Amino acid sequence: IWRKLSASEFTGKEQFQKEVVRHVETTLARSIYNCDDNAAYSGTALAIRDNLVIKWNKTQQHQTLQDQKRVYYLSLEFLMGRTLDNAMLNTGLKDTAREGVSGLGFRIEDIIDQEHDAALGNGGLGRLAACFLDSLATLNYPAWGYGLRYRYGIFKQEIINGFQAEVPDYWLDFNPWEFPRHDVAIDVMFYGTVNPGPRDDHGNIKKVWEGGEIVQAIAYDVPIPGYGTDCTNNLRLWSSKPSGGEFDFGKFNSGDYEGSIRDQQRAETISAVLYPNDNIDAGKELRLKQQYFWVAASLHDIVRRFKKSHRPWKEFPEQVAIQLNDTHPTLAIVELQRIFIDIENLAWDEAWSLVTRTFGYTNHTVLPEALEKWSVPLVQNLLPRHLQIIYDINLFFLQSVERKFPKDRDLLRRVSVVEEGTPQVLRMAYLAIIGSHKVNGVAELHSDLIKATIFKDFVDIFGQDKFTNVTNGITPRRWLHQANPKLSDLIASKVGGYDFLQDLTKLSVLEKYIDDKTFKKEWMEIKLAAKVKLAKYIKDTTQIAVNPHSLFDIQVKRIHEYKRQQMNIFGVIYRYLRLKEMTPEERKKQVPRTSIFGGKAAPGYWMAKTIIRLITAVGEVVNQDEETNCLLKVIFIEDYNVSKAEVIVPASDISEHISTAGTEASGTSNMKFVLNGGLIIGTCDGANIEITREIGEENIFLLGNLAEHVEDLRHQHRFGKDVVMDLKLREVCDAIEAGRFGPEQTYSGLMSALTTGCDYYLVSDDFSSYIATQDLVDEAYKDQDGWATKSITSVARMGFFSADRAINEYADEIWNIEPSKIEPRS
Ligand code: 26Y
């Protein structure tokens, strides 16, 4: 009878409408006579969700029954953005929904626009995790994501008087996409002491970690639908809650009710807020608590699932692959070893062999300030048993190194997990390498660089084979089909349908149409329409009118000195100064340009905030200058996030990826822009290099010094008194220092980093090349037909950068897992 009664998916428009109305009336308890866009969004989301849940349940049952190897993607960040549109497209329900809501008097675009972004991430690393979940489901891999359910995602950015201000992002008011699992509650312990216990089977005295504070982890599950498949995977996010024992009855009985609540609040604090730092390690205790809380709950869950199958422990790595998204979950290595030896009574060596065969570690940065280090006293206090295990892991590792390289004491010092100093600190990347069977970088140059620099000793110790590359990718579902439906439709009409969304290499067929005049025209019209849409958004939000026929030059990403937004804005100033000198006749020959910036600065990153201020200040001057403002506008888009990216990315003519060579591990927005027919101005860094190889040198504007020269150039700066400055850059600095963009003191830090500091990010070395390359961009843009050729050819050659390709590489080379297709319901 249960089977007969079990829920089924709606199909047609009428059924869908019925479900929407039912949800509005009963689930939301709202009158249909008072249904605004927001209520219509909620009803639509709930209706779509029902179909999703049916697929999700089926997938989970199927995967449990199959009992094959699963991969668990551990990431502190999942930058999901909005869900509704993606869910409709992936399940093939968008047309039904569009017609359905239209019949109810709504536009689907308005409904989609009601949704709040799920912004549980900072930038590239978090968005990569979200793209990977999409690909894992689309490719039918049995996979779970594990993360934290932050009450506050990345802050909302407001620009007040030209400066960034941060506003909390409370996003959980109405979130139909999560399902609390109050029955999945896991106790996680902190602090406490380690005491000797009884002897184990091997005759050793057991170590017992006890007497700590206990916090509960509650699971919240989020369905992740694949595109064109029923496979719907699970993202499990943990929320912290006081365990029963936290409530202090002593305080309560003595009348201190508030005091008794305080400890409870402390527990809830753990999952309260996403740390807003990107590529900079602050070493805060609460962050370490978050990491252990999440790792302990996830591993408990994974081990419990494994134990249900009653397999012997030796099969653990054949059933479980765990990928560490950067070092943030490195404690998982220690926790699994602890579970094996302290709780499941395995011998050290057997346990360690299982552990290392289970984990893979992805590195996302070479920047020293982003490599996590935890102070030993902090770990000693919070996780005393884990510290002992880390010492043992390190000891056995160093002993093996000693055997391989006898008497090389300096090597031992260099590779030790424990870095000497006051206090001593733990180098988490080293622990991650030692505890994993594969370590990968995220683009070829980056993977080569980590082997040659920060992890060189480990290559000597473990051999080349442990280190590999998996170049990042992006999901074409969200970043082409969803963000740019018109382009997706045009492509589909040429390459024979939408199969390219599941095999992006099929884009290559587009090259056949490179001389097709109407196709080219349609292509450029779609680009123009995307620019018109962005121009409207800019007008609505900033009151500034920008010309959609001007060249849209876009740099949107986290604000960081290494990404060199400062070089971009210096270039804008240089352009402005040139325009000011020109006669009206000369001006007529110039290509009008709109320079668009967007991105958040970490709240404590003062230099990044100064860069934002300079951009907004230049905008204030330039946009009002009647002499030049038809040729140059500068826009800063507030609160850049995933849903804004979906509007911005399709609208670029050119986008900037101009990091100092060797600093940007990969970059992924570079791929998004090119996939939408934009060209790139960029340095030979990260994935730009592979993009160039794929699309051809004639289709990209490369500039600047190469990674191999960066170190020498830095040394030359350091040994000189003043950085020798390019004349063009000198002129720009003079304009800033003359106060043309407001009080020059505002920028003194930025200026001195460039002049008397060592100009660590080599702006002075790359500036003239940057300006010269921007001139080439202007020239190329004058030839619209040539530009269209570059644009189409580039898109045709972007197949490699699908996240599907990346996921298949992980599956084959690192996880050793197979897809498992869920048969559609009979
Ligand atoms: C230590 C902690 C505060 C921390 C938090 C966030 C450290 C790093 C990060 C975020 C790093 C990040 O987003 N890295 C980016 O990863 C992308 C995906 O691999 C790359 O494309 C991009 O180049 C890299 O900067």
Question: Residue 186's beta-bridge partner residues?
Answer: 217
Helix axes 13-22, 94-103, angle to 10 degrees: 60
Asked if pLDDT for residue 825 goes beyond 90, the answer is no
Q: What angle do CA 167, 170, 171 make, to 5 degrees?
A: 130
How far does the centroid of ligand 1 lie from the alpha carbon of residue 277, in Å?
9
Identify the residue whose tokens are 């894992």. 136
Question: Of 415, 377, 390, 398, whose CA–CA distance to 337 is shortest?
Answer: 390
How far does the centroid of ligand 1 lie from the alpha carbon of residue 367, in Å?
10
The 3-class SS string of 348-417 reads HHHHHHHHHHHEEEECCCCCHHHCCEEEHHHHHHHCHHHHHHHHHHHHHHHHHHHHHCCCCHHHHHHHCC
How far does the centroid of ligand 1 lie from the alpha carbon of residue 669, in Å?
13
Question: Residue 419's beta-bridge partner residues?
Answer: 425
Ligand 1: nearest atom to the Cα of 282:
3
How far does the centroid of ligand 1 lie from the alpha carbon of residue 278, in Å?
6
Q: What is the DSSP string of 239-274?
A: EEEE-GGGS-HHHHHTT-HHHHHHHHHHHHHTTTB-
How far does the centroid of ligand 1 lie from the alpha carbon of residue 119, in Å?
15
Residues 109-159: tens digit of each pLDDT: 999 999 999 999 999 999 999 999 999 999 999 999 999 999 999 999 999
| 3, 9 Cβ separation under 8 angstroms | no
| 158, 165 Cβ separation under 8 angstroms | yes
The answer to whether residues 218 and 350 belong to one domain is yes
Between strands 213-225 and 179-190, the pairing is: antiparallel
Q: What angle do CA 301, 219, 232 make, to 5 degrees?
A: 85
Q: Choose one of 76, 78, 120, 125 to mutate for the ligand 1 pocket test, by most ligand atoms within 8 angstroms of C-beta.
A: 125
Mark 184-206 as b/e (b = at least 16 C-beta within 10 Å): bebebbbebebeeeeeeeeeeee
Q: What angle do CA 417, 393, 308 make, to 5 degrees?
A: 125
Burial class (CB in 10 A: 0-12, 13-18, 19+), 502: middle
The answer to whether residues 233 and 253 belong to one domain is yes
The answer to whether residues 382 and 485 belong to one domain is no
How far does the centroid of ligand 1 lie from the alpha carbon of residue 561, in Å?
14
Which of 51-65, 261-275, 710-724 is predicted least confidently?
710-724
**What's the pLDDT at 249?**
67
Query: Residue 408 phi/psi, 5° resolution?
Result: -95, 80
Q: Choose one of 75, 154, 277, 279 to mutate for the ligand 1 pocket test, by most ligand atoms within 8 angstroms of C-beta.
A: 279
Q: Which residue has the higher pLDDT, 7 or 664?
A: 664
Q: Residue 39 falls within a domain, yes or no? A: no
What average pLDDT does the segment 366-394 reach? 97
> Residue 270 and residue 292: Cα distance in Å, rounded?
10
Residues 676-706: tens digit of each pLDDT: 999 999 999 999 999 999 999 999 999 999 9
Q: Residue 15 falls within a domain, yes or no? A: no
Question: Of 263, 49, 292, 276, whose CA–CA distance to 148 is shortest?
Answer: 292
The answer to whether residues 208 and 353 belong to one domain is yes
Mark 678-717 as b/e (b = at least 16 C-beta within 10 Å): bbbbbbbbbbbbbbbebbeeebbbbbbbebeebeebbeeb
What average pLDDT does the segment 523-527 reach? 98
Ligand 1: nearest atom to the Cα of 121:
6
Between strands 143-148 and 232-242, the pairing is: parallel
Cβ(365) to ligand 1 under 6 A? yes
Q: Residue 602 falls within a domain, yes or no? A: yes
> Residue 80 and residue 671: Cα distance in Å, rounded?
18
Between strands 205-210 and 193-199, the pairing is: antiparallel
Residues 42-65: tens digit of each pLDDT: 999 999 999 999 999 999 999 999
Query: Residue 406 phi/psi, 5° resolution?
Result: -60, 145
Q: What mean pLDDT is reported for the chain?
A: 96
Residues 529-553: tens digit of each pLDDT: 999 999 999 999 999 999 999 999 9
**What's the pLDDT at 722?**
66
How far does the centroid of ligand 1 lie from the alpha carbon of residue 667, in Å?
9
Q: Residue 536 falls within a domain, yes or no? A: no
Query: Residue 26 phi/psi, 5° resolution?
Result: -100, -50
Question: Of 118, 363, 275, whose CA–CA distance to 600 is shortest?
Answer: 275
Cβ(128) to ligand 1 under 6 A? yes
What average pLDDT does the segment 636-656 reach? 98
How far does the centroid of ligand 1 lie from the alpha carbon of residue 113, in Å?
28
Identify the residue whose tokens are 């950085």. 723
Query: Residue 148 phi/psi, 5° resolution?
Result: -110, 140
The answer to whether residues 442 and 485 belong to one domain is no
The answer to whether residues 552 and 455 belong to one domain is no
**712 membership: H or E segment, kind and range:** helix 707-719
Ligand 1: nearest atom to the Cα of 327:
1
Cβ(335) to ligand 1 under 6 A? no
Q: Residue 635 falls within a domain, yes or no? A: yes
Nearest residue (by CA) to ligand 1, atom 21, is 667
Cβ(363) to ligand 1 under 6 A? no
Q: Which residues are catalytic?
A: 364, 557-558, 563, 668, 672
Q: Helix or strand or coil: residue 419?
A: strand
> Residue 226 and residue 732: Cα distance in Å, rounded?
50
Q: Structurally, how many domains does the chain consist of?
A: 2
> Residue 615 and residue 596: Cα distance in Å, rounded?
10
Can the peptide bond before residue 423 be classed as cis, meaning omega within 30 degrees of 0?
Answer: yes
The answer to whether residues 449 and 482 belong to one domain is no
**What's the pLDDT at 253?**
73
The answer to whether residues 455 and 592 belong to one domain is no
Nearest residue (by CA) to ligand 1, atom 7, is 279
> Residue 500 and residue 490: Cα distance in Å, rounded?
12
Cβ(474) to ligand 1 under 6 A? no
**CA 156 → CA 77, 276, 641, 644, distances in Å?**
16, 11, 9, 13
Cβ(281) to ligand 1 under 6 A? yes
| 342, 207 Cβ separation under 8 angstroms | yes
Q: Choose one of 364, 367, 426 to mutate for the ligand 1 pocket test, by most ligand atoms within 8 angstroms of C-beta.
A: 364
**What's the pLDDT at 262?**
82
Asked if pLDDT for residue 808 goes beyond 80, the answer is yes
Q: Choose one of 326, 427, 450 to mutate for the ligand 1 pocket test, by most ligand atoms within 8 angstroms of C-beta.
A: 326
> Residue 324 and residue 815: Cα distance in Å, rounded?
12
Question: Residue 118's beta-bridge partner residues?
Answer: 81
Helix axes 94-103, 84-91, angle to 10 degrees: 120
Cβ(290) to ligand 1 under 6 A? no
The answer to whether residues 598 and 653 belong to one domain is yes
How far does the centroid of ligand 1 lie from the alpha carbon of residue 382, in Å?
26
Residue type for position 256: D
Residues 647-662: tens digit of each pLDDT: 999 999 999 999 999 9
Asked if pLDDT for residue 90 goes beyond 60, the answer is yes
Residues 422-439: tens digit of each pLDDT: 999 999 999 999 999 999
Question: Residue 702's beta-bridge partner residues?
Answer: 682
The answer to whether residues 568 and 587 belong to one domain is yes
> Residue 591 and residue 787: Cα distance in Å, rounded?
14
Residue type for position 682: G
> Residue 212 and residue 235: Cα distance in Å, rounded?
29
What average pLDDT does the segment 13-27 reach? 97
The answer to whether residues 464 and 487 belong to one domain is no
What average pLDDT does the segment 194-212 reach? 92
Cβ(658) to ligand 1 under 6 A? no
> Residue 106 and residue 97: Cα distance in Å, rounded?
10
**What's the pLDDT at 826?**
42
> Residue 548 and residue 606: Cα distance in Å, rounded?
34
How far does the centroid of ligand 1 lie from the alpha carbon of residue 562, in Å?
12
Q: Return the structure tokens found at 541.
A: 């939000």
Q: Residue 686 falls within a domain, yes or no? A: yes
Cβ(442) to ligand 1 under 6 A? yes
Residues 321-340: tens digit of each pLDDT: 999 999 999 999 999 999 99
Q: Return the structure tokens found at 83.
A: 């869900």
What average pLDDT does the segment 593-600 reach? 98
How far does the centroid of ligand 1 lie from the alpha carbon of residue 665, in Å?
8
Cβ(124) to ligand 1 under 6 A? yes
> Residue 564 and residue 685: Cα distance in Å, rounded?
13
Nearest residue (by CA) to ligand 1, atom 5, is 278
| 298, 331 Cβ separation under 8 angstroms | no
Cβ(364) to ligand 1 under 6 A? yes
> Residue 294 and residue 240: Cα distance in Å, rounded?
9
CATH of the domain at 780: 3.40.50.2000
- Residue 661 has, within 13 A of its CA and on its CB side, a CA count of 19
Nearest residue (by CA) to ligand 1, atom 1, is 281
The answer to whether residues 649 and 761 belong to one domain is yes
pLDDT confidence bin for 252, thresholds 50/70/90: low
pLDDT confidence bin for 721, thresholds 50/70/90: low
How far does the centroid of ligand 1 lie from the alpha carbon of residue 129, in Å?
11
Nearest residue (by CA) to ligand 1, atom 3, is 281
Residues 381-406: tens digit of each pLDDT: 999 999 999 999 999 999 999 999 99
Cβ(301) to ligand 1 under 6 A? no
Cβ(148) to ligand 1 under 6 A? no
**What single DSSP character describes residue 482?**
I
Cβ(370) to ligand 1 under 6 A? yes
Mark 352-380 as b/e (b = at least 16 C-beta within 10 Å): bbbbbbbbbbbbbbbbeebbbbbbbebbe
Q: Choose one of 79, 278, 559 to mutate for the ligand 1 pocket test, by most ligand atoms within 8 angstroms of C-beta.
A: 278
Q: Which domain holds residue 284?
A: 67-82+117-470
- In 649-721, which ranges are E strands? 654-657, 679-683, 701-703
> Residue 329 and residue 331: Cα distance in Å, rounded?
5
Asked if pLDDT for residue 475 goes beyond 60, the answer is yes
Cβ(125) to ligand 1 under 6 A? yes
Q: What is the DSSP string of 142-204?
A: -EEEEEE--SB-SPEEEEETTEEEEE--B--SS-TT-EEEEEEEEEEEES-EEEEEEE-TTSP
Cβ(667) to ligand 1 under 6 A? yes
How far does the centroid of ligand 1 lie from the alpha carbon of residue 818, in Å?
28
**What single DSSP character describes residue 763?**
H
Cβ(774) to ligand 1 under 6 A? no
Q: Residue 287 falls within a domain, yes or no? A: yes
**What's the pLDDT at 23?**
97
Percent with pLDDT over 90 in the chain: 92
pLDDT confidence bin for 3, thresholds 50/70/90: confident
> Residue 634 and residue 565: Cα distance in Å, rounded?
13
Cβ(666) to ligand 1 under 6 A? yes
Q: Residue 519 falls within a domain, yes or no? A: no
**What's the pLDDT at 588?**
97
pLDDT confidence bin for 373, thresholds 50/70/90: very high
